[in-house]
Amino acid sequence: MRIDAYEDPGAPDRRGGWRYLAWLVRRQWPRSLAGAVLASVWMVLLAATPYLMARAVDHGLEPGDMGALAGWTGAMVAVGGVNAWLGVMRHRTMTKVRMDANFRTVKVVVGHATRLGAALRGQVGTGEVVTIGVGDVQTISTSLTAVGPGVGAIVAYAAVGGLMLSVSIRLALVVLLGVPVLGLLLGPLMGRLQGREAEYRERQSVLTARIGDLAGGLRVLNGLGGKGLVADAFHRDSGRLREQGYRVGAVTSWIQALGVGLPMLFLALVTWLGARQAAQGHISVGELVSVYGYVVALGWPVAFLIEMGHQLSRGVVAARRVVAFLRLEPAPDEGTRDAPAEPSVLHDPASGVRITPGRLTALVTPHPSDATDILDRLARYTPSDATWGDIPLADIPPSRIRTRILLADPEADLFAGPLHDVIGVAEASLRGAGNCATSHEAPAAAKPPPGADETAKLTAAIRTAAAEDIIRALPDGLRTQVAAQARDLSGGQRQRIRLARALLTDPEVLLAAEPTSALDAHTEATVADRLKQARRGRTTVLAATSPLLLARADVVHHLVDGKVAATGTHRELLETEPGYRALVARDDEGAEDTERAEEGAPAR
């Protein structure tokens, strides 16, 4: 019953929260069944101890038969030892049940997020996904406690009721009817808890998203003087979440208080009735002892039944949120036509931009969002009338477009792990050639070692992005562990790593927005030269206002209000378009760098 964190989790049941929980149980039914059996036997044997004790009193202690007393006492010791072992195995099995549910839910959520792809951000907030991954997954796995101790509590409850029948029908009826009455008393509170918990989770996801937004834009907010306003808004929202948390806690505290108090009253009633029957001579002293023992043994099943109801109430709320996420679907793909067989013109009618194959084209606009919108349309991330050759992009399946057109997002995620994984190359491709990505040339060899082609591509991509110094500065080169979003690297280093990752795919069409905005002039000039050389004969579109990049472009489109106002080379637009000249000549040093670049001299 090993848990494989990498196996296929299966197709989840998305018809509702209860059905999703049932699916988690079915996917590991042998382990779930084992947990239920172990818990049931464990709890029944808890009730067997009072039975054995009653036999020891009635058949050994009261008549003075020391042999019988020793025998029944030995049986109690043996049952206690077996039950201790069963308790250990029950706990281990239920831990595996919870961990399996945890891993399985994480895998189906991550897998579905991957399938949604670019449609994810448009349908659900980051905070919602984080809340599901951090809180709801744990709540769901904990609720599966009902599979083991929950089932065991029901079995033990029925077993104790049966044993009580041998003592007194009246006591048995009190026991058998008592717990359903407790359920009726706690039922309304369970329903209220579900409503409060659902509202709390919704507000928690919203606040989590705001934390991410605030952390990501703190520097900008501070520069604009808006940090105080956002902090005040966050303070108000967190206060509302705290109040909602208090309301959830109030309902939970009542459930827990009644869950402790009502069973004690119920068990006290059973004890009192048993004592009265013993005083009246209806039951023996041993039977009175067994009744008291049964009452004590019932404490575990009753407590587990109440806890099961509480955990299931919370678990189904979390499961409904997971199911709602799993029901999200990407935009319907109605594309049925093949992409052009040969490199073809990309045309965006909304802006008038035409991208000629095999050339380095630049988009220049005072509003970066205009250029970003154009790139999104040309990559078919947003609906448009854009065409590829004479074929509308909307008629081509996205999967075929993605294999040939790559949109390099300037804020693309960088996952934690070895740097070679972050860039997108397998560890195996580094073997045999050493960490040659730190050098400018691959070592000569009569026969290329395994992974040599991949290593050469990686080396070329890193060199084009001028990232060799990054690799050399890291303690283990490409095998160095990098934090999530590469927080341990500078902004310029992250930008070059993203560019290297995009170049490694060597797409037919590369679309990139401000790929060098965080670099110094010298590094930017190096990247511009190497990028033009590496992408020669390939279609490259850059949204940028850097004179160093624009000087290397074959064609520059000057955009005003999202539409092409002028087209030409960088030099031609500088001479004929005052608006373009004012936009790209940011300062005297930038203009000087531009002139030096155009003359073939290295930029400073």
| 507-527 pLDDT, tens digit each | 999 999 999 988 899 999 999
d(CA 472, CA 437): 9
- Residue 572, pLDDT > 70, answer yes
**Cβ contact 450:428 at 8 Å:** yes
- Residue 441, pLDDT > 50, answer no
Indicate the pLDDT class of residue 186, thresholds 50, 70 and 90: low
Indicate the pLDDT class of residue 501, thresholds 50, 70 and 90: very high
Q: What is the DSSP code (8-state) at residue 329?
A: -
| 473-497 pLDDT, tens digit each | 989 888 899 888 888 888 889 999 9
- Residue 229, pLDDT > 70, answer no
Indicate the pLDDT class of residue 580, thresholds 50, 70 and 90: very high
Give me the mean pLDDT over the 276-286 stretch: 76
Query: According to the model, what pLDDT value does residue 526 have?
Result: 94
d(CA 589, CA 604): 9
- Residue among 389, 368, 370 nearest 564 (CA): 370
Residue 418 phi, psi dihedral angles, 5° rounding: -60, 145
Q: Classify burial at 600, counting beta carbons within 10 Å of its beta carbon; exposed 0-12, middle 13-18, buried 19 or more.
A: exposed
Per-residue tokens: 529: 């030269």
Q: What is the DSSP code (8-state) at residue 336?
A: -
Residue 95 phi, psi dihedral angles, 5° rounding: -65, -40
Helix (H) / strand (E) element for 392: namely strand 391-392
**Cβ contact 351:155 at 8 Å:** no
Query: According to the model, what pLDDT value does residue 10 have?
Result: 87
The three-class DSSP label of residue 520 is coil
Strongest mean pLDDT among 47-56, 117-126, 558-567 = 558-567
- Residue 347, pLDDT > 90, answer yes
**Cβ–Cβ contacts within 10 Å for residue 134, how many?**
11
**Cβ–Cβ contacts within 10 Å for residue 533, how many?**
10
Give me the mean pLDDT over the 43-47 stretch: 80
Among the residue ranges 162-171, 314-323, 425-434, the one predicted with the least confidence is: 425-434
d(CA 291, CA 418): 64
- Residue 266, pLDDT > 80, answer no
> Bridge-partner residues for 511, per DSSP?
407, 541
- Residue among 526, 580, 588, 586 nearest 558 (CA): 580
133 vs 344 pLDDT, higher one: 344
Strongest mean pLDDT among 329-338, 401-410, 446-455 = 401-410
Angle between helices 29-56 and 149-165 (to 10 degrees): 30
Distances (CA, A) of 338 to 61, 390, 401, 575: 91, 11, 9, 42
Residue 556 phi, psi dihedral angles, 5° rounding: -125, 130
Give me the mean pLDDT over the 228-250 stretch: 72
Query: According to the model, what pLDDT value does residue 372 have?
Result: 92
**Cβ–Cβ contacts within 10 Å for residue 476, how many?**
11
Q: What is the DSSP code (8-state) at residue 599?
A: T
Among the residue ranges 96-100, 210-214, 338-342, the one predicted with the least confidence is: 210-214
The three-class DSSP label of residue 407 is strand
Give me the mean pLDDT over the 363-374 stretch: 92
